[in-house]
Amino acid sequence: MNAIRHFEKNPVNAIILDQQDPLKEFRKKFYIPIRNNTEVIYFCGNSLGLQPKITSSKIDHELKKWAQKGVDGHFNEDPWVSHHHKGKTAMAHLVGAKTHEVVAMNNLTTNLHLLLASFYQPKGTRKKMIIEKGAFPSDYFAVTSHMKQKGISPEDHLIEISPDENGYFSTEKICHSILTTGDALALVMLPGIQYYSGQFLDLKSITHAAHKVGAYAGFDLAHAVGNIPMTLHEDQVDFSAWCSYKYLNSGPGNVSGVFIHEKHGNNPDFPRLAGWWGQNETIRFKMENDFDPIPGIDGWMLSNANIISSVAHLASLDIFEKANIQELRKKSILLTGYLEYLLVNNEAIKPHINILTPKNESERGCQLSLYFYDQGRLAFDHLTKNGVVLDWREPNVIRVAPVPLYNSFEEVEKFVILLGQVFD
C-alpha cells in the first residue's frame, strides 16, 4: 500500500511509529550534532551523512598499524595492498552487482572522467550524448570537457532533455529522445536520482532504450546509493559512479564507488585510462610495462587505496550490512510517506508549497523537495534557527531528507510543526 494512503487509513502518532520501528536502534550508532545543548533534527543526509560512532576507532586502528609496522603494513596481517577488496560485498548488495563489478576508488568526478574516457568513444556519425538539462555542474563539466577533448562540439552534439514544469523527467520522453537520436547516439549519462527534484529515474528502461540504438548507458548515483536498492547487473547498466559521503556516511569528500558491468570489465581490450594498480596482481610488482588488466572493474584502478579515509567508508558499509538496504527502504517509504502525509494535511502549510518530488514512492527515495510559492527563505531561516538542518536550493526550494538509519518519525512531526509556525 502507498505510504500516504496507509496513514490516511491508519492514523497513528509519531511516538507509536518510532516504537514500532525495527531499525530504531541504528540511530544510536551515529553522532547527532548538538546545537544549544539539544540534538538537531538532521534532514541533510542527502548532502552529507552523519558520522558513525565506530569510525574513529577504525581510523585509529590503521594509524596504529602505520605507527607500528611502517611499510610492512602493506603486506603483513590484514594487508593494505588488498584493502580495496573489503567493501566489495557490501557495495554489491547496495547496487545489485557482482563483487567483481564494484570497487571504491578516487572520488566521484575523477571516476566520471575515467568512465567517460572508456564509454564515450565517438565514431563516424555516432557522436551525440544525452544528459538532463540542469545537470549537476560536475556532471556537465565532465561531459562537455570530454566532448571538446575529442573535437566534438557540445553545442551541436550534446542533447539536454528538459523536465516538465514541475521538474519531472518522463521516462517516455527520455526513451523517445534516445530512440529518435538512433545510431547518432554514443552515450546516455543521467542521474539515478535527480538532485534538485529527488526523482528516481527508471534505470532499466533507459538502459534498454540506449542499447536498442547501440549506445551505452551510465548513471551518476550520488543521490541514489544507500538510499534506494538497485539492480545494476540485472538491468544491464553499462557503468555508474557515486560518492560515499551522502547516504553512505563515509565523511566529507570521501572515496567514490564505481560499477562497470562484467561484459565490459572482463574484456581486456575495452578502452580505458590505465594505472599501475589495475595491473595483473601476480605481476604488478615485477614492474614490467606490459599492461595486463585485472579482470573486472579492478582493471580500472589507478592507485593503491587511501587507507586512512577508506576505513571510514568501511565503517559505514558495515552498518548497512547489518541494517540491510531492503529493510532500510521499507522504513524510508514510511518515513517519507509520513512527512508527505503531514504536509498535505496541514492547512497552514499546504497553500504555500508544491512538492516537486514524485508522489509515486517507486520514483523517489528519502528526499522531498519543497518548492515555496512565498516566504521560502523565511521558512528556511526559521527552521534553521530552531535546530533543523536542511538544504536550500535556488529558487525557493528546501530539500528535506529524513534518513532511515538515524532519523525518526518524531523528528518528522516536529519539523512539520515548526514549518507550520511560519504560516500560522
Q: Which CATH number fits domain 79-320: 3.40.640.10, 1.10.10.10, 3.40.50.300, 2.40.110.10?
A: 3.40.640.10
**Residue 62 CB neighbour total at 10 angstroms:** 19
Whole-prediction pTM: 0.95
Q: Which of 95-99, 229-233, 321-325, 420-424 has the lowest mean pLDDT?
A: 420-424
In this predicted structure, what is the pLDDT of residue 6? Answer: 74
Cell numbers linked to 340: 508527505
In this predicted structure, what is the pLDDT of residue 12? Answer: 75
* Composition of the chain by helix, strand, coil, percent to 5: 45, 15, 40
Confidence of residue 166 (pLDDT cuts 50, 70, 90): confident
Is residue 260 pLDDT above 60, yes or no? yes
Is residue 347 pLDDT above 60, yes or no? yes
Selection from 177, 188, 176 nearest residue 214 by Cα: 188
The answer to whether 107 and 241 are in contact (CB under 8 A) is no
In this predicted structure, what is the pLDDT of residue 314? Answer: 97
Report the alpha-carbon distance of residue 393 to residue 212 in Å, rounded.
36
Kindly list the domain boundaries of the chain, sorted by start residue.
3-53+325-423, 79-320
Report the alpha-carbon distance of residue 73 to residue 184 in Å, rounded.
51
Is residue 64 pLDDT above 60, yes or no? yes
In this predicted structure, what is the pLDDT of residue 51? Answer: 98
DSSP state of 222: T
Report the alpha-carbon distance of residue 361 to residue 284 in Å, rounded.
47
Report the alpha-carbon distance of residue 97 to residue 10 in Å, rounded.
37
Is residue 205 pLDDT above 80, yes or no? yes
Q: For 347, left (φ over 0), alpha (ψ -120 to 50), or beta?
A: alpha
Give the distance between the most distant pair of CA atoms in the chain. Answer: 72
Q: Which CATH number fits domain 3-53+325-423: 3.30.1360.10, 3.30.70.2190, 3.90.1150.10, 3.30.160.20?
A: 3.90.1150.10
Cα atoms found within 13 Å of the Cα of residue 181, Cβ hemisphere only:
31
Q: What would the pLDDT profile of 105-144 be if each residue is shown by its tens digit?
A: 999 999 999 999 999 999 999 999 999 999 999 999 999 9
